[in-house]
Amino acid sequence: MIREKKEEIIKQLAENLSKAAVAIATDYRGLTAKEMVVLRRQLHQQGVEYKVIKNTLAHFAAEKAGVKGLEEFLTGPMALALSYDDPVKPAKILLDHIKSAASVLKIKGGIMGDRVLTAADVASLAATPSREVLIAQLMGRLQAPIYSLHFVLSSPLRGLATVLQARARQLEG
């Protein structure tokens, strides 16, 4: 590769690493070209980049971006899944692909913010509900006391209304 091209790749990767919410390193050895295309398509549909990167270029890009901890995953063939908004998406897609396709893809680990993730951490991240589900659960929990208060305060009025309706039916009949 020409030096200028390598420098451009390092610059672009450093920029991507610095703005990524999560970067998950995978070992793609043993994947067929067809499997790789399917995996890339699944990730791309969810807004996740999946790039095969030379280890030395990834090392220089991580240094340039100030990302620590990526060096331990830079052995053997490596591809990075980068997500810029939701850190759960790439973990879920990669683990679903491994399970559904009985794939030989291996997750080495990842980086989320300043934290280094092991393969087990990535698996537990995949078990986390999506951001939208977590927001919905939070909203439900915030609204529960209000609904309970409304029910408690309105029950005497409902009881009075029921008694009055029963009395009105009694007087009619």
- pLDDT at position 139 is 92
How far is residue 85's CA from residue 156's CA, in Å, rounded to a whole number?
48
How far is residue 106's CA from residue 100's CA, in Å, rounded to a whole number?
14
- pLDDT at position 1 is 63
- pLDDT at position 165 is 92
Our measurement of the distance from residue 11's CA atom to the centroid of its chain's CA atoms, rounded to an integer in Å, reads 25
CB-based contacts of 130, cutoff 8 Å, min separation 6: 86, 88, 89
Per DSSP, helices labelled H in 46-87 are 55-65
- pLDDT at position 136 is 92
How far is residue 52's CA from residue 162's CA, in Å, rounded to a whole number?
70
Look up the pTM and report it: 0.73
Q: Which stretches in the chain have pLDDT values below 50?
A: none
